[in-house]
Amino acid sequence: MYILTVRVDFQGGMYVVKKAMIIVNPSSGKEEAEKNKSKVEDLLRKKGYDVIIKLTEKELDAMEFARTSCLEAFDIVVSMGGDGTLNETVNGLAGQKHCPNFGIIPMGTVNDFARALNIPLDFDEAVELIEKGETRAVDIGKVNDRYFMNIIAVGAIAEATYQVSPKQKTMLGPVAYMIEGLKTLTSKTAYDIELKHDHGTWKGDALLVLAALTNSVGGFEKIAPDAEVDDGKLKCLVVHDVSLPKFIKIGTELLQGEHIHDDKIEYITTSKLEITSSEKLHSNIDGEEGDPLPLKIEMLPKHLDIYVP
């Protein structure tokens, strides 16, 4: 027989129930999220929380669960899944009057946001962060009417990553994204782009535009080497229309963090950004298909309190 044990805090002359929600993508981490959710539940119950577990079944479930946690004044929300589950959870938490503390158990292919925050990719070590209870206020971004926590990309390479299958992600990890991106090199299509930022306007033909909140993009951690998670700034990177050999050279520089000084790269630090084009382009937002251009991007500085080392 299951017995619900509810612990309460005495605050301001009344008893307050402490509530935690665990949002689980059952298919993440080769189904390890589903197997290990009870460990997180046990920890939170020992810390005095009434715990609810929510399993995602379809797109946007995680967003709706997270939004409910805000409306019902939960104290903690924990995301167990990959970057897709995390993005949905962030979209449910952002912009709400009440926002719970946020725990991240990274169980996806790339886990960019976790890498940027130095959250361990090891399950037990990530759970230990929640047990310790130390949080950091972290930026997120808003693009048009949705939120993101890591990267916006525009260009043929960015659109090619939509083709990465779950099987490729499982087998190859971050390399799967690189393989799909490399397939576009034979066409090497540039687009006319206009960027409006804090310091003015950039116009020109570009192969790729990235707007990053963190230093980790697609599992590679030097693409925005000076990015900070709580400085209220975006790092915008534009690759000019260059020859194929030069583009390959820039790709090598990107992986080594040496690209920001290349004269065929624009590297812009800004708190807001507008991206437009005369052509019909779609964005890639946190690894998933995003809005079509134009994009209006702004920062929400130190918006979420996240358990970190």
- Higher-scoring residue by pLDDT: 34, 155: 155
pLDDT band for position 34 (cuts 50, 70, 90): confident
**Mean residue pLDDT across the chain:** 85
Supply the pLDDT for residue 67. Answer: 98
Q: Burial level of 145, CB count in 10 A (0-12/13-18/19+)?
A: exposed
255 close to 225: Cβ distance less than 8 angstroms: no
Supply the pLDDT for residue 135. Answer: 96
Are the folds of 8-108 and 148-302 the same?
Answer: no
pLDDT in tens, 234-277: 999 998 988 878 877 877 777 777 777 788 989 999 999 999 99
Taking residues 157-161, report their average pLDDT: 61
| pLDDT surpassing 80 at residue 14 | no
pLDDT in tens, 96-112: 999 999 999 999 877 88
pLDDT in tens, 205-214: 998 899 999 8
Q: How far apart are CA 184 and CA 189, in angstroms?
A: 8
Supply the pLDDT for residue 284. Answer: 87
Mark residue 70 as left, alpha or beta (left: phi above 0; alpha: psi -120 to 50; beta: remaining): alpha
- Take residue 197 and report the two structure tokens written for it: 């930022």
Taking residues 19-42, report their average pLDDT: 87
Supply the pLDDT for residue 11. Answer: 52
| pLDDT surpassing 50 at residue 3 | no
Query: 34, 180, 288, 289: which one is catalytic?
Result: 288
Taken as a whole, the chain contains a residue count of 309
- CATH code for the structural domain at 8-108: 3.40.50.10330
Supply the pLDDT for residue 57. Answer: 94
Share of the chain above pLDDT 90, in %: 57
- 288 catalytic residue (yes or no): yes
pLDDT band for position 12 (cuts 50, 70, 90): low
pLDDT in tens, 40-60: 999 999 999 999 999 999 999
pLDDT in tens, 109-129: 778 889 889 999 999 999 999
The domain locations on the chain are 8-108, 148-302
Long-range contacts of 172-178 (CB under 8 A, 24+ apart): 173/109, 173/110, 173/219, 174/109, 174/110, 174/218, 174/219, 174/220, 176/109, 177/110, 177/218, 177/219, 177/287, 178/218
268-306 CB burial, b ≥16 within 10 A, e <16? bebeebebebeeebebbbbbeebeebebebebeeebbeb
pLDDT band for position 165 (cuts 50, 70, 90): low
Taking residues 4-29, report their average pLDDT: 70
CATH number 2.60.200.40 given to 148-302: yes
Residues with Cβ < 8 Å from 182, sequence gap 6 or more? none
Supply the pLDDT for residue 233. Answer: 96
Supply the pLDDT for residue 9. Answer: 56
Q: How far apart are CA 69 and CA 91, in angstroms?
A: 12
- Take residue 169 and report the two structure tokens written for it: 């992600």
